[in-house]
């Protein structure tokens, strides 16, 4: 890839960066910082405050051809892209210029698909997946193997559901009558909005009376549990092991650290960051940085 092509790509996408260097330079690969000693003609990212990495870069790469992507200009480096959100810029460039894997949109003959499928849509469904009759699947959807999707589920466009995911099972909710616990009937559904990514091993329960909703652009790592009647807004990120109990309401653009736990009926606003292992038992408004058991706000974003 030529530096000029990278420049054109960022400019066409209206991404605000500063360019330095020779735009005719050619780079062959993207590398992790630990691999720079043996690499040549590469693109690499480092943090501004990582002075040791910067000094190492200069010592080991002074005579090599490379492009540095960072958030502050560094003397002594010929080719640089400087941007406030440099890490995201690096990965955006990387995603665009790496070869794309072809997706084979095929429904396995070992899948059991009882719902209607629009033949004009691109849909991939892996073996041993079972999908009930009352399920709606949008366009450009990929569903892995051993997935179970129950009646009342709506999957919108550009959704990825990886292997061993369960969606739309009844709520784990009981009432007591005459000393006996009786299961509450669930008549709600699940709505998976556009551009949602669901990693292997996740569980999303259907609502009791209303729908459980996973908002547009939300990303779920492995072994996430979303309880019944939860409403999850747009562009939330759930690293592995997060548990969201029933009736919780979560706004937009929140990040929950690994193994976070969210109390039932909790209300969480927008743009919050919760640290690893946070136990969220109270409500939070917007733009908090919080962690701990129980989770408490340490500062504002």
Tell me the mean pLDDT in the region 252-259. 98
pLDDT for 37 equals 74
Q: Which of 239, 217, 243, 242 is nearest to 228 (CA)?
A: 243
Dump pLDDT digits (tens) for 32-90. 877 777 778 888 887 655 555 666 666 665 567 889 898 888 887 889 999 988 889 99
Dump pLDDT digits (tens) for 239-249. 999 999 999 99
Q: Cα(208)–Cα(256) distance, rounded to whole angstroms?
A: 25
Residues 16, 88 contacting (CB under 8 angstroms): no
Residues 233, 256 contacting (CB under 8 angstroms): no
Residue 167: pLDDT above 70?
A: yes
Residues 259, 237 contacting (CB under 8 angstroms): no
Dump pLDDT digits (tens) for 180-237. 999 999 999 999 999 999 999 999 999 999 999 999 999 999 999 999 999 999 999 9
Which two tokens mark 47? Answer: 């943090």
The catalytic residue among 88, 91, 92, 228 is 228
Q: Cα(276)–Cα(3) distance, rounded to whole angstroms?
A: 38
CATH superfamily, domain at 3-97: MurE/MurF, N-terminal domain (3.40.1390.10)
Q: Cα(128)–Cα(135) distance, rounded to whole angstroms?
A: 17
Q: Cα(155)–Cα(197) distance, rounded to whole angstroms?
A: 11
pLDDT for 45 equals 82
Work out the percent of the chain whose per-residue pLDDT is above 70: 94
Mean of all residue pLDDT scores within the chain: 93
In the residue annotation, 228 being an active-site residue is answered as yes
Query: Would you list the domain boundaries of the chain?
Result: 3-97, 112-300
Of 3.40.50.300, 3.20.20.70, 3.50.50.60, 2.160.10.10, the CATH number of 112-300 is 2.160.10.10
Which two tokens mark 258? Answer: 């690994």
R_g of the chain, CA atoms, integer Å:
23
SS3 290: strand
Q: Is the backbone of residue 78 left (phi > 0), alpha (psi -120 to 50) or beta?
A: alpha
Q: Which of 81, 219, 276 is nearest to 232 (CA)?
A: 219
CATH fold match for the domains 3-97 and 112-300: no
Tell me the mean pLDDT in the region 140-151. 98
């Amino acid at each position: 890839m030529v530096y000029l092509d990278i420049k054109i790509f960022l400019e066409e996408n209206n991404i605000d960066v500063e360019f330095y260097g020779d735009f005719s330079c050619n780079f062959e690969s993207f590398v992790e910082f630990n691999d720079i000693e043996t690499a040549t003609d590469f693109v690499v990212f480092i943090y501004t405050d990582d002075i040791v990495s910067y000094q190492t870069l200069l010592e080991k790469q002074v005579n090599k051809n490379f492009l540095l992507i960072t958030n502050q200009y560094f003397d002594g480096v010929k080719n640089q892209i400087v941007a406030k959100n440099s890490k995201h810029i690096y990965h955006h460039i990387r995603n665009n210029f790496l070869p794309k894997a072809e997706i084979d949109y095929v429904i396995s003959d070992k899948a059991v698909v009882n719902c209607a499928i629009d033949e004009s849509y691109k849909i991939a469904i892996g073996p041993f997946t079972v999908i009930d009759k009352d399920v709606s699947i949008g366009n450009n959807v990929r569903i892995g193997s051993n997935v179970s999707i129950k009646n009342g589920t709506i999957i919108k466009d550009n959704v990825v559901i990886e292997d061993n995911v369960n969606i739309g099972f009844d709520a784990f909710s009981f009432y007591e009558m005459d000393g006996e616990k009786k299961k509450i009937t669930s008549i709600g559904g699940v709505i998976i909005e556009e551009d949602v990514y669901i990693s292997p091993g996740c569980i999303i329960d259907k609502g009791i009376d209303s729908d459980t909703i996973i908002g547009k652009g939300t990303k779920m790592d492995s072994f996430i549990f979303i309880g019944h009647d939860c409403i999850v807004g747009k562009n939330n990120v759930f690293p592995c092991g997060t548990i969201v109990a029933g009736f919780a309401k979560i706004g937009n653009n929140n990040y929950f650290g690994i193994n976070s736990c969210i109390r039932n009926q909790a209300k969480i606003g927008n743009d919050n960051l919760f640290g690893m292992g946070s136990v969220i038992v109270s409500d939070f408004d917007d733009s908090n940085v919080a962690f701990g058991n129980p989770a408490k706000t340490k500062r504002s974003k």
